[in-house]
Amino acid sequence: MAKVIIGLSGGVDSSVSAFLLQQQGYEVEGLYMRNWDSALNHDLLGNPDVNDLVCPQEQDYLDAVAVATHLGIKLHRHDFITEYWDDVFKFFIAEYRKYRTPNPDILCNKYIKFNAFSKVANMLGADYIAMGHYANTRYENGETWLLRGTDHDKDQTYFLCQLTQEQLRNVIFPVGMLTKSEVRAIATKNNLITANKKNSTGICFIGERRFHQFLSNYLPASPGLMKDTEGKIIGNHDGLMYYTIGQRKGLGIGGHKDFDNAPWFVVGKDIINNILTVGQGFHHPDLYSNSCLVEEVNWIPNTPFSDNLDCTAKFRYRQIDVPVTLSWIDKHRIKVQYPNTVRAVTPGQAAVFYQGPICLGGGTIDQVFMNEKKRNY
């Protein structure tokens, strides 16, 4: 009987994954990942994380214990605090220091869930590891393909784009062929305590926190002026790191006597002068681009393409696929062209590439252009 170690997080997806693996005849054990300790994780100045009470991590662990007990499986608990800090959180802070908007969940998958976790699972005698992601794999002719989840609204291949062939080879995604409603129905029918638990939100393993306050524990804010695209002062900002391209909420811009009532959006960042640029209208022209440079590209198929490749891309999670043409700049960078233009392509976020149901990989958006002119993002 093959042994599977499932990442049991205390959520409904991993709970149902464990149940399904049992039904399929595997020997199943759970492994709960503890990746954050507010008493230990503090910045170099020694300032503690004051938002610890908001983190639901311990409740998640208790829910994982309850699910494991209900299913009659062994549950292991392991600290990945150091690995998370070194491989995920330091990068997260470094990106915000560059006033970019990072996606730590992608690095968490690459370095924690499908690397550090796998090493511990191997020590526990695992033949396979399993996760509750909405994704699928297919192995053929010596190659593992990463495929979208059946539930297109929940598909999580965007967050798995940095995984390699080696990492994907012995992974099972038990709920990949199901919809979220089907997963909850299975949980309810089998009396799993997590059946009606709400979906997790917030930063991976940091939880639902007051983000400005949390980030200020690690980076000093530098307030400055907020101006429109003509240079007129509109107000003040709390620090460029708190804002992302296309953002509307949290700008603090009320009625302004010199402008109409159209909503304001972040359309640029002047890092040298510490100025946040805003413009009115969801379709403000400064929000659109037709090409970008993507770095740190991970190409999942064994053989990279040559010359150009026509495929589709997502520049943010749950975005509708965008037709693009890819061309290599070097082994780790790709130029992405999308003549139909896309709104709010943002440095620091991930660009993930697809051919139909296949996730080809992805990388980090570095620079954004409109007609070859670099956007001030």
Q: How many CA atoms lie within 13 A of 372 on its CB side?
A: 0
CA distance 211 to 9: 22
The CA–CA distances, whole Å, from 151 to 15, 78, 129, 177, 313 equal: 18, 31, 22, 7, 18
Q: Which of 204, 292, 311, 359 is catalytic?
A: 204
Check if 161 is active-site.
no
Q: Considering all CA atoms of the chain, what is the largest pairwise distance in Å, rounded to the nearest integer?
A: 73
Sign of the dihedral defined by the CA atoms of residues 128, 132, 138, 144, in that order: negative
CA–CA distance, 112 with 124 (Å, rounded to integer): 16
Q: Which residue is catalytic, options 55, 108, 292, 311?
A: 108
Give the whole-angstrom CA distance, residue 337 versus residue 312: 10
Q: In this structure, are residues 240 and 274 in contact, taking their beta carbons and an 8 Å threshold?
A: yes
DSSP-derived 3-state class of residue 250: coil
- Please state, as a whole number, how many other Cβ atoms lie within 10 Å of the Cβ of residue 338: 19
Beta-carbon count within 10 A of 188 CB? 12
204 is catalytic: yes
Q: Give the list of residues 6+ apart from residue 222 with CB closer than 8 angstroms, or none.
A: 239, 240, 274
Catalytic residues: 108, 204
